[in-house]
């Protein structure tokens, strides 16, 4: 049987890409550090994906095993794999890169001339390219030459809401019905994997930014405004008309920038926005605003879901009032359990709002900085409109 390795055996790894790989006929090896999950997978050898949406149904995922991602056993698995995917979070990619490099070294040493494709399925632009850069750091020139010939590193965009839910069986995962997995076809090495649900594309950046500027932008702003207003979940937050109005307008602002940049159809994109908003309203997902809002420093980065759409739209002369409100809300995210939130709040305290935004996001435009500071101050007084 064909072998795939899924780095990250959490809810996203099991509930999205891992499930698609199993359904496509791969034996899926989940690589993680969570011993309870690893033992559960190896003992039970199956789990269920529970789709909770307008229509609810279950999928049973089989042909699976698990291995510790920090043990020597993972190297043997990499030697035998045809495809490697990740769902570890963008910040963890550099931690697994040395392990992947060791696997590539082993393949070279054993003169393995079978092709391997490695796809980082993360919420970040160019995540696979980032992973490749980290892998290269651990290889010598001959190993890099081998990698360039036999190992593909296609970028991708992924879209599925997989919230943390407590199920009777801890291996089971609750997900929404909607998903998208768009993979850069030109960078695949060897025969293209036949995986139902994997959409092969040419111009990936348009898909990446369409998702980042729509789902991720709207999701984050909903969470930050909802957290500020005292709501617990995304669906509770989006039911608030003031929040829903700001979120939709922000998504339209970012969407207008996308339309200009990539030549998209505006009407079709607005329909896509409406579809995304309906996903936020799904009460079955019980999507915690703390989960969606976590790691605010990353989300406020220049290339991420708040500042990137803002700067893109502004570059085309598009009004960005509601995206600015979203950034103002993100600056208020004060969660003592989130290290990045703690750091953000300390930075604001030490430097003030404008200098903190400069440091975190790289924004230098004085007009924008003043507007963000103004939005931040208004939100302090609980004005969400």
Ligand-binding annotation for 324, yes or no, is no
Ligand-binding annotation for 4, yes or no, is yes
* CB neighbour list of residue 355: distance below 8 Å, 6 or more residues apart: none
Ligand-binding annotation for 318, yes or no, is no
The answer to whether 269 and 259 have CB atoms below 8 angstroms apart is yes
Residue 193 is classified by DSSP as P
Distance between CA 360 and CA 118 in Å, rounded? 30
Ligand-binding annotation for 10, yes or no, is yes
Phi then psi for 216, rounded to 5 degrees? -65, -40
Ligand-binding annotation for 14, yes or no, is yes
CA distances for 118 relative to 130, 149, 187, 219, angstroms: 12, 13, 10, 28
For the chain, the first-to-last Cα distance in angstroms comes to 57
Ligand-binding annotation for 6, yes or no, is yes
Q: Is 199 helix (H, G, I), strand (E, B) or coil?
A: strand
Distance of CA 251 to the CA centre of its chain: 18
Ligand-binding annotation for 13, yes or no, is yes
Ligand-binding annotation for 8, yes or no, is yes
* CB neighbour list of residue 228: distance below 8 Å, 6 or more residues apart: 329, 332, 379, 382, 384
Q: Mark the binding-site residues, compressed into ranges.
A: 4-15
Q: Mark the binding-site residues for NAD(+), compressed into ranges.
A: 4-15
């Amino acid at each position: 049987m064909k072998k795939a390795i899924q780095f990250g055996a959490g809810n996203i790894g099991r509930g999205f890409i891992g499930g698609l790989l199993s359904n496509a006929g791969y034996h899926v090896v989940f690589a993680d550090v969570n011993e309870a999950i690893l033992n559960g997978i190896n003992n039970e050898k199956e789990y269920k994906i529970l789709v909770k949406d307008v229509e609810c149904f279950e999928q049973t995922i089989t042909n699976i095993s698990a291995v510790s991602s920090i043990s020597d056993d993972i190297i043997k698995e990499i030697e035998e794999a045809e495809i490697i995917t990740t769902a570890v979070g963008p910040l963890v990619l550099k931690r697994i890169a040395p392990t992947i490099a060791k696997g590539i070294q082993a393949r070279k040493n054993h003169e393995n001339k079978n092709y391997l494709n490695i796809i980082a399925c993360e919420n970040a632009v160019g995540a696979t390219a980032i992973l490749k850069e980290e892998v290269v750091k651990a290889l010598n020139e001959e190993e890099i030459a081998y990698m360039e010939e036999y190992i593909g590193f296609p970028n991708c965009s992924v879209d599925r809401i997989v919230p943390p839910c407590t199920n009777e069986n801890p291996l089971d995962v609750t997900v929404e019905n909607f998903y998208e997995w768009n993979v850069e076809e030109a960078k695949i090495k060897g025969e293209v994997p036949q995986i139902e649900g994997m959409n092969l594309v040419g111009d990936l950046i348009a898909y990446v930014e369409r998702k980042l500027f729509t789902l991720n932008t709207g999701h984050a702003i909903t969470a930050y405004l909802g957290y500020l207003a005292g709501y617990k979940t995304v669906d509770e937050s989006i039911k608030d008309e003031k929040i829903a109005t700001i979120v939709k307008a922000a998504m339209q602002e970012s969407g207008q920038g996308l339309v200009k940049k990539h030549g998209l159809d505006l009407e079709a994109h607005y329909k896509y926005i409406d579809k995304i908003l309906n996903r936020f309203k799904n009460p079955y997902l019980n999507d915690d605003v703390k989960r969606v809002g976590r790691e605010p420093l990353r989300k406020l980065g220049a290339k991420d879901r708040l500042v990137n759409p803002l700067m893109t739209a502004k570059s085309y002369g598009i009004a960005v009032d509601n995206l600015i409100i979203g950034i103002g809300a993100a600056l208020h995210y004060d969660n003592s359990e989130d290290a990045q939130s703690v750091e953000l709040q300390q930075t604001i305290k030490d430097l003030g709002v404008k200098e903190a935004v400069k440091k975190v996001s790289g924004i230098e435009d004085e007009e924008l900085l003043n507007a963000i500071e103004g939005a931040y101050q208004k939100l302090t007084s609980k004005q969400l409109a």
